[in-house]
Chain A
Amino acid sequence: MSFPNPATSVKLVLLGEAAVGKSSLVLRFVSNDFQENKEPTIGAAFLTQKCTIGERTIKYEIWDTAGQERFASLAPMYYRNAQAAIVVYDITKPASFIKARHWVKELHEQASKDITIALVGNKYDLVEDDTEEESLRKVSVEEGKGLAEEEGLLFFETSAKTSYNVNDVFIGIGSKIPEAASAGPNQIHQTNNDGRIDLTSDPNNRPRAAGDCAC
């Protein structure tokens, strides 16, 4: 048996209006968990989750906005070296779709040019059983698709609640991230040539074996 390829680290940032389900989406992805009344923030730093796409293993480092988007106070640090972004809106809330457009624009200005962006219309569960006459849906699939096409984004409709399409978002992003970009100098957590010091290793116990691998 050959050793699995080392995981490629990918920084992924979440953007979108408050309460569209950014954190729920990520929680569903990383823990297959959905909490009805969850706290509006996740974790102390960021969540990590590995995802295998074909031969590649991608390790997502998922950064939540931690509420700093609310008053347009996201720091440059948030966008820096992000290789992927998920812009989330709520398909039952048209205002959130407008804001999604804003965040896409913001990403084009702040983030690196080759960032992979997915536009995600969340809360699909709310419209799943709707009839045409009486629908909670306020943003059509076509409208979402239209924006995605216009801006060159991936597009998904998801439900963090039922987990519908959630994994597909991350697999979709992973397959679109170019090999070259993920092997670039901005790789996270890798002993590399740009001299990044690994503060996670116990300095009295170096070198740290690659053997915390459970395989």
Chain B
Amino acid sequence: MMSRTERRKSMAERRPSVSYTPSVIPHLAGLEKPQEPSLKIDQCDVLIMGTGLVESILAASLSWQGVQVLHIDNKNYYGDSSSTLTIDQLKKWCMEVNSGRLQHFQDAQIYIPGGKSTNKFNSKDYGIDLSPKVMFCKSDLLALLIKSRVYKYLEFQSLSNFHVFENDDFSQKITTQTSKEDIFTDKSLSLITKRNLMKFLKFILTDNKDPVKKKILVDNGKVKVQDFLVKQFNLELPQINELVYSIGLCINEGTETREAMAKIKRFLVSFDVYGSFPVMVSKYGGPGEISQGFCRSAAVAGTTYKLNTSLVDYDPRSKIAKFNDGSHVKINEKLVISPTQVPKFLQSNYNEVTENLKQFSITRLITVVRRDCKEWMAEQDSSAIVVFPPHSLPTNNEQSVQVIIQNGNTGVCPEGQSIWFSHTSEQDLNRAKQDLESAYEKMEASLLREANADLEGAFDDQDFVLSAQGTPVFVNSFKLGESLQNFVPKEKLEIVCKVGYVQKTYANPDLSNIFHATAEDNVVLKNVADAENDILFSNMPSAELSYDGNISEAKLIYQKITGSDEDFFDVDFEDDDDDYDNNDPHDSSNLGSSTTLKSSSSNALASDNEDVIVDSSDDDDHNPFGADEMEL
């Protein structure tokens, strides 16, 4: 073996003298950036700017229909406003936000405690979603992921536990890990309450065409859901909170019955599709990861990708677009521009079309903690959801605070750590921040308390010890889930990184202007008059915790470009890569076709989420609760 100090022979020395002509090897200066500097295409049908989730789905859908797409992003990473970032990227991103260069984001703060020696971490070990989401097991996006085969690029993990914070207590939780009937039996319920709950569940799973149900929904559709649940089903507050804010993920007390029913149903029909859990998370990141998947699919179908590229000019008459890399491309049809990528020369057009739109704020607080938070997760899970319903926090929050917790096993952070993604739709930004901080403190206290309980658990070979007087004392009462009020944590939770920011969007938190978009309330349908209507703007991500609305928006844009959404992903991918599989040239032990793609029949049937949300259609074949047997 060569010793360390021995000089390696140079390439020239090692090279044989005969068969090689050195002059033809280009200079090594090309090593760092051998890629072609500018776009080598002279035209495309559609230019899409921004590689966010909606834009990526759009790129794939257009490409698979034979539309020539050029997809660029002014960042050097995929995902745009739904990106998954490392800590270093996030630092840079925060600076950009605060310099005003990233429209629709503001007030970014990043806090990394300690120095390099006390808070050691490797930035690349983290994947922090700018707009984290969870996937219902029965949803339009999941059906599309399967149909388009994009799911093959992804890994999904189950999420079973939905915790709801109530009466200053964290122990109320919906855990679906045991069996479907047990969803509500985490706390002992009275027989009457149980019966009322079952009645309600049966109602909600009844076909919407059922005349009785229909009438009740028509009569009460606009009634606030709490009032409806009290009046119609005699439900009590704890159950209402669970149903509306936890299971339903509704965000405030103004939620109307129709919307809430659809959202509660969304949970129930998603349960038991792939197992006893209602939602899944994609490993290594949410929307950022799925965006990459759709971009890859689009690339396979012929889309050209170029990151780090922005539009510097567009002439609507010649239809020539000029880019910052110096290239010129003729755009035959349309330009789709994400709100964070609007070029300066189009700013006034963008301001004009968004002038009368109602803007909503989403305030986010993301904390990376040195705890795996397993105590909140079901056995097989690595994620959980925590919901703080309205008025459950000391800040008297009006909007619920929703938190997704993911630990190292989901690939977004190292083992032994977890990321808490919290957000609120509170429009008063000061209150929003207070709500999020307050929710954070409650979670921290709960975690530390449980950890303390565990410590004591180390001593409790027996549940009772004798006091000095000889009377047995119950030592392990911490575990009984009493209120956090008297618990003062002695230690602080170790934090790797804390990030807060505010995002603006024209998408209503209830998604009404996405599902039922009109030219009055959705920017996609606005016309940019002096650009010959060649230019479309997309929306920022919504506050919705699930992926609902993304496909609807992609379809909306698709329809505006192609005139109809009938052939949206109308592609048959069946078996086109399994063909090779049975044909093994090595004649090794051929085990036959490896991956049989059978799209889940229930997902194939999954109606648009639009339908799920507005609950206008129904599918009877799916009765996850065996509703018939549930009548007590």
Contact = CB atoms under 8 A, between A and B. Distances in A.
B283 A203 contact: no
Contact of B152 (A45, A137, A140): A45
A126 interface: no
Interface stretch (B153-161, B170-178, B393-401): B153-161
Contacts of A204: 600-602
Nearest to A166: B585
Given A43-B577, A66-B296, A50 B25 contact: no
Interface stretch (B27-35, B103-111, B531-539): B27-35
A66 B591 contact: no
Given A50-B584, A66-B300, A215-B591, A99 B11 contact: no
Given A7-B594, A77-B289, A98 B30 contact: yes
B589 interface: yes
B586 A52 contact: yes
A44 B576 contact: yes
B359 interface: no
Given A66-B300, A214-B591, 4 more contacts: A30-B583, A32-B583, A41-B300, A80-B284
A94 B22 CA distance: 10
Nearest to A127: B19
Given A77-B293, A94-B24, A94-B26, A194 B152 contact: no
B25 A94 contact: yes
B429 interface: no
Interface of A: 4, 7, 17, 29-32, 41, 43-52, 57, 59, 64, 66-73, 75-78, 80, 94-95, 97-99, 101-102, 105, 132, 135, 137-140, 142-143, 146, 150, 167, 189, 194-197, 199-204, 212-215
28 contacts: A31-B585, A32-B583, A44-B300, A44-B573, A45-B300, A45-B577, A50-B594, A52-B589, A57-B589, A68-B299, A72-B308, A77-B153, A77-B284, A77-B292, A80-B284, A95-B30, A98-B25, A99-B30, A138-B25, A143-B20, A189-B594, A189-B595, A195-B157, A203-B274, A203-B600, A203-B602, A213-B592, A215-B592
A47 B580 contact: yes
Contacts of B153: 45, 77
B26 A95 contact: yes
Contacts of B576: 43-44
Given A32-B583, A95-B26, A72 B307 contact: yes
Contacts of A64: 300
Interface in B78-122: 78
B589 A59 contact: no
Interface string B294-322: 01110110101111110000000000000
Contacts of B24: 94, 138
B217 interface: no
B35 A59 contact: no
Contact of A71 (B32, B35, B289, B293): B35
Given A214-B592, A215-B589, A199 B78 contact: no
B306 A73 contact: yes
Given A49-B580, A102-B31, A199-B146, A43 B300 contact: yes
Q: Is the interface of A mostly helix, strand, loop or mixed?
A: loop
Residue from A47, A71, A95 with most neighbouring chain B CB atoms (10 Å): A71
Contacts of A52: 586, 588-589
Contact of A140 (B16, B32, B382): B16
Interface residues on B, range: 35 or more
A197 B30 CA distance: 44
B36 interface: yes
B313 to A, nearest CB: 20
A73 B152 CA distance: 20
B19 A75 contact: no
Contacts of A31: 579-580, 583, 585
B492 interface: no
Given A194-B409, A195-B381, A203-B602, A57 B588 contact: yes
Contact of B34 (A80, A102, A194): A102
Nearest to B587: A52
Chain A CB within 10 A, most for which of B289, B583, B589: B589
A50 B581 CA distance: 8
B31 A142 contact: no
B590 interface: yes
Given A52-B586, A146-B14, A135 B19 contact: yes
A88 B514 CA distance: 46
Contacts of B32: 102
B11 A146 contact: yes
Contacts of B304: 67, 70-71
Given A45-B152, A194-B409, A200 B596 contact: yes
B138 to A, nearest CB: 10
Interface in B12-56: 14-16, 18-21, 24-26, 28, 30-36, 39
B451 interface: no
Nearest to A67: B299
B46 to A, nearest CB: 17
B337 interface: no
Q: Which of B35, B304, B579 has the most CB of A within 10 A?
A: B35
A80 B285 CA distance: 12
A132 B18 contact: yes
Contacts of A50: 581, 584, 586, 588-591, 594
Given A66-B296, A200-B598, A46 B409 contact: no
Contacts of A70: 35-36, 304-305
Contacts of B292: 75-77
Nearest to B10: A146
